[in-house]
Structures are given as C-alpha cells and as structure tokens.
C-alpha cells in the first residue's frame, strides 16, 4: 500500500491577505440590492391591500386526510364550492370571507347572508361569524384559523416587515430568469402567529416577485406550532378583467405529530392537504363602515 505523506508548508511561504473595504463590497452591495427588492414588494403590497379589497371570486376548495392515527369517524375528503370576499382592514389583517354554497355538491342549508351582513356589520364581525359557521366543514382534527390565500402577504405588511430578514433564495429549475426569488425568516417579536399559550411561532418561506414593479407571483410560508408543521402557498396571476394580480391557487399542508414507522404508532399523527382554486373575479360594494 502506498504511504500517505503529509507535507508541512513553511511559515515563510504563507501569505496572509489583509481584509480591505473592497473585500466586503460584493456582500454589502448584495444587501443593498435585496433591500431595494423588499422595498418595492412592500410598496406593492401596500397598494394591493386597497386594490384587492371588495373583490369577490368563486372558489373550489378540496380537503383530504392523507394519514390519521388514531383514525376517527368522519369524511376523509371534502369539496366546498363558495364565494370568497377579499378584504383588508387597516390596522388588522387580511380577510377572506368564505360563503360556502355547496358541500360535496349538496346545497348548504341555513346559509349566512354574507352580502347583507357586509352592509350591516363590520367585515371583522362578519369574518368571525363565518369562520365559526364554516369550521364544521373542515375535515380532520387540525384546527385551521389562518388559512387564507392572502396570509403570506403579511410578511410584507408595514406592521411586520421589520420582524423579517430577507436573502436571495436559490434558483430552481424552470424559474423565470426575469423574476427574483427571496427567502424570508421571521427573527424578531412580536410574531405574526402565536400558539394557544401565547408563545411566538416564527415564519420562514420564499417568495417570487417582479423586481421592477414588486408584484408578487407566488409566496410560500412555513411555520411550526408545537407538534404541528404548516406550509401555505399562494400563486397569483393577472386577471385581465380587473387588470390586477389575483390569487388563483392556494395550497395547504398540515402535519401533526410523528408519522408511524415500521407499522408502529408513535402517538397521534395526522396529515391534511388542501387546495383552493379561484375564478370569475369581480368587484362588489360594501356600504357599512370598515372598522
């Protein structure tokens, strides 16, 4: 066997290059460029909050339980057909007020009259009532109360921007070279999401944007809340009738607890996948005060 020889380099042969301002220039320039991208995205979202408000769309929303231990009675799949009213209340948050019309192609009885309620009540009151009413249509044990297609845009909201660090995300095969991908990480409190005991839950994710206008093409947000891992992704496209970008596809992935291995059950486990698609966007009027 040939011997492996190690050679020591004489100290005199080593050259140490001093660190100069020029050596850090590329990294500093990259931070400046990323900050400019984020500024444009923030400006876009600020205008978009008013632009998307008072828009209604048709939604087809599918839910599927892919795994559940222990198994419980109830449907493992469900499809909802709804109208969704998009609204943003300054100082509060986005709301996707879902008026469920049909469940698995069966009409919903004793429906809440959303259009009438929006004329008489504040959007936040209507949203709270609808969420409680619609919760009965969710499959599985996982409670979902922030599953809205506009949720990811809160990362760029003026109230939350300073809580996030942004960096350039790695490009993927098939990416549009005219677009920019940015990774984000929530690093400071108060966080957008907290668990039931009030503890912070930190968001991470990635977004794709037009570097010139700041328009968001898609955004994916991930968070872990105790034993629950959540991934929410929204894709946007320009609607020619409204002449603006609108959410066209929203996917949710929930994993609660540890998955069984080798047939062994390791406590409670559940995996739920949901997908919503949107079409036929149009504007509606709200005569009640937004508060």
Q: Which of 45, 83, 42 has its CA nearest to residue 61?
A: 83
The CA-to-CA distance between both ends of the chain, in Å, stands at: 81
Q: Tell me the domain boundaries of the chain.
A: 23-283
The CA-CA-CA angle for residues 79, 207, 33, to 5°, reads 170
Average pLDDT over residues 155-181: 90
Q: What is the pLDDT of residue 131?
A: 80
Q: Which residue has the higher pLDDT, 4 or 229?
A: 229
3-state secondary structure the chain: CCCCCCCCCCHHHCCCCCCCHHHHHHHHHHHHHHHHHHHHHHHHHHHHHHHHCCEEEEEEEEEEEEEEECCCCCCCEEEEEEEEEEEECCCCCEEEEEEEEEECCEECCCCCCHHHHHHHCCHHHHHHHHHHHHHHHCCCCCCCCCCCCCHHHHHHCCCCHHHEEEEECCCCCCCCCCCEEEEEEECCCCCCEECCCCCEECCEEEEEECCCCCCEEEEEEEEEECCEEEEEEEEEEEECCCCEEEEEEEEEEEEECCCCECCECCCCEEEEEEEEEEEEEEECCCCCCCC
Q: What percent of the chain has pLDDT over 90?
A: 58
Paired strand residues for 279: 58
Is 95 within 8 Å of 88 (Cβ atoms)?
yes
CA distance 30 to 122: 44
Lowest mean per-residue pLDDT among 107-121, 174-188, 257-271: 257-271
70-85 pLDDT, tens digit each: 888 889 999 999 999 9
Residue 269 has which token pair? 């486990």
Average pLDDT over residues 89-100: 81
Read off the pTM: 0.86
* Residue 261: how many other CB atoms lie within 10 Å: 8
Q: Which of 92, 145, 123 has its CA nearest to residue 252?
A: 145
Q: Widest CA span of the chain, in angstroms?
A: 88
186-215 pLDDT, tens digit each: 999 999 998 888 899 999 999 999 999 999
**Cα radius of gyration (the chain):** 24
**Statement: residue 286 has pLDDT above 80:** no
């Amino acid at each position: 066997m040939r011997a492996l020889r190690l050679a020591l380099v004489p100290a005199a042969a080593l050259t140490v290059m001093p660190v100069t301002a020029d050596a850090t220039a590329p990294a500093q320039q990259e931070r400046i460029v990323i900050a400019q991208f984020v500024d444009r995205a923030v400006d876009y979202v600020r205008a978009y909050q008013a632009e998307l408000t008072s828009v209604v769309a048709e939604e087809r929303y599918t839910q599927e339980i892919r795994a559940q231990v222990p198994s419980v009675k109830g449907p493992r799949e469900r499809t909802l057909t709804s109208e969704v009213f998009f609204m943003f209340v300054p100082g509060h948050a986005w709301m996707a007020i879902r008026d469920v019309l049909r469940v698995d192609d069966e009409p919903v009885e004793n429906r809440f009259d959303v259009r009438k309620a929006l004329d008489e009540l504040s959007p936040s009151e209507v949203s709270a009532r609808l969420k409680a009413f619609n919760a009965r249509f969710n499959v599985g044990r996982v409670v979902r109360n922030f599953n809205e297609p506009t949720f990811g845009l809160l990362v760029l909201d003026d109230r939350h921007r300073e809580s996030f660090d942004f960096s350039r995300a790695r490009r993927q095969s098939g990416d549009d070279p005219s677009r920019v991908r940015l990774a984000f990480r929530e690093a400071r409190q108060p966080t957008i999401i907290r668990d039931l005991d009030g503890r912070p839950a930190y968001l991470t994710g990635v977004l794709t944007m037009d570097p010139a206008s700041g328009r968001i093409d898609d955004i994916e947000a991930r968070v872990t809340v105790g034993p629950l891992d959540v991934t929410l992704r929204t894709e946007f496209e320009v609607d020619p009738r409204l002449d603006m970008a609108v959410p066209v596809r929203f996917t949710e992935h929930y994993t609660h607890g540890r998955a069984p291995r080798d047939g062994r059950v390791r406590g409670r486990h559940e995996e739920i996948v949901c997908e919503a698609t949107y079409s036929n966007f149009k504007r509606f009027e709200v005569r009640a005060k937004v508060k």
